């Protein structure tokens, strides 16, 4: 009988466990997915890309100093989006059929979106008096899109935990959307206020 030192066995087991934990299951090839799974993945990839972009929104505060309310709104949107991005990545790690890399868009559509995003970013950077209104308008569009996309995904997915999270995320983005709309309403009211000179007449 050959005796193997216990510490050698233990070391081998620990190494094996570490290797297994470090390995992720490969994703199922696109051809191995059902049409429903492919559509679902495209939706998740779109949401992942959106939250990735929105998660960097607060970087604009490095060069812009809007009012405290706008700053807080920007930070809230960015933080919510970063947390959502991390959650989506975690979902993908747990499901070999869930792929976040392909939004399923035609190349022309992808190029147009990148062009719009680049132009919008430049406009925000070089805006002065109109910055707060411009940032609120861009976020109204992004947040409304994100909330509706999450709700559609919740209707198409059959994973209970993801569905619950998607609905919560949609509600959170909708609340942020309403805050942006309220900001725009306030800004519009302030723009329509009569000047001091006109008020005295």
Mind listing the pLDDT tens digit for each residue in 186-200?
988 887 756 444 444
Q: Any idea which of 13-17, 65-69, 114-118 has the lowest mean pLDDT?
A: 13-17
Question: Whose CA is closest to 179, among 87, 82, 71, 88?
Answer: 71
How far is the C-alpha of 163 from the C-alpha of 161, rounded, in Å? 5
**Could you report the per-residue pLDDT of 36-75, keeping only the tens digit for each?**
999 999 999 999 999 999 999 999 999 999 999 999 999 9
User: Does 195 reside within a domain?
Assistant: no
Residue 31: the pLDDT is: 74
Number of domain units in the chain: 1
Rounded to 10 deg, the angle between the 131-156 and 160-191 helix axes is 160
Question: Whose CA is closest to 95, among 132, 40, 154?
Answer: 40
User: Does 52 reside within a domain?
Assistant: yes
Which residue range is the domain that position 40 belongs to? 33-190
**Could you report the per-residue pLDDT of 63-74, keeping only the tens digit for each?**
999 999 999 999
| Average pLDDT value for residue range 91-104 | 96
**Could you report the per-residue pLDDT of 120-160, keeping only the tens digit for each?**
999 999 998 899 999 999 999 999 999 999 999 999 999 99
Q: CB atoms < 10 A from the CB of 50, how many?
A: 21
How far is the C-alpha of 113 from the C-alpha of 49, rounded, in Å? 11
Residue 193: the pLDDT is: 59
User: Does 16 reside within a domain?
Assistant: no
Residue 201: the pLDDT is: 38
At 25, is the pLDDT very low, low, confident or very high (cuts 50, 70, 90)?
A: low
CB 147 within 8 A of CB 170: yes
Q: Mean pLDDT, the chain, as a whole number? A: 86
CATH of the domain at 80: 1.20.1260.10
User: Does 71 reside within a domain?
Assistant: yes
User: Does 24 reside within a domain?
Assistant: no
Residue 70: the pLDDT is: 96
| Average pLDDT value for residue range 101-107 | 95
Q: Is 104 or 12 the better-scoring residue by pLDDT?
A: 104
User: Does 197 reside within a domain?
Assistant: no
User: Does 119 reside within a domain?
Assistant: yes
């Amino acid at each position: 009988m050959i005796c193997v030192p216990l510490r050698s066995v233990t070391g081998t087991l620990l190494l094996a466990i570490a290797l297994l934990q470090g390995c992720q299951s490969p994703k199922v090839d696109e051809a191995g997915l059902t049409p429903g799974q492919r559509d679902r993945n495209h939706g998740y990839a779109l949401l992942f890309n959106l939250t990735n972009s929105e998660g960097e929104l607060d970087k604009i505060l490095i060069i812009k100093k809007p009012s405290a309310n706008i700053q807080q709104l920007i930070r809230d949107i960015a933080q919510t989006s970063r947390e959502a991005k991390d959650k989506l990545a975690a979902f993908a790690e747990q499901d070999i059929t869930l792929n976040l890399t392909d939004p399923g868009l035609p190349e022309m559509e992808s190029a147009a979106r990148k062009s719009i995003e680049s132009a919008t970013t430049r406009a925000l950077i070089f805006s002065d008096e109109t910055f707060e209104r411009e940032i609120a308008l861009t976020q109204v569009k992004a947040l409304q899109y994100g909330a509706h996309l999450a709700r559609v995904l919740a209707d198409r997915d059959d994973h209970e935990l993801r569905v619950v999270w998607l609905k919560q995320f949609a509600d959170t983005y909708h609340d942020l959307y309403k805050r942006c709309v309220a900001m725009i309403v306030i800004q519009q009211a302030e723009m329509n206020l009569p000047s001091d000179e006109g008020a005295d007449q």
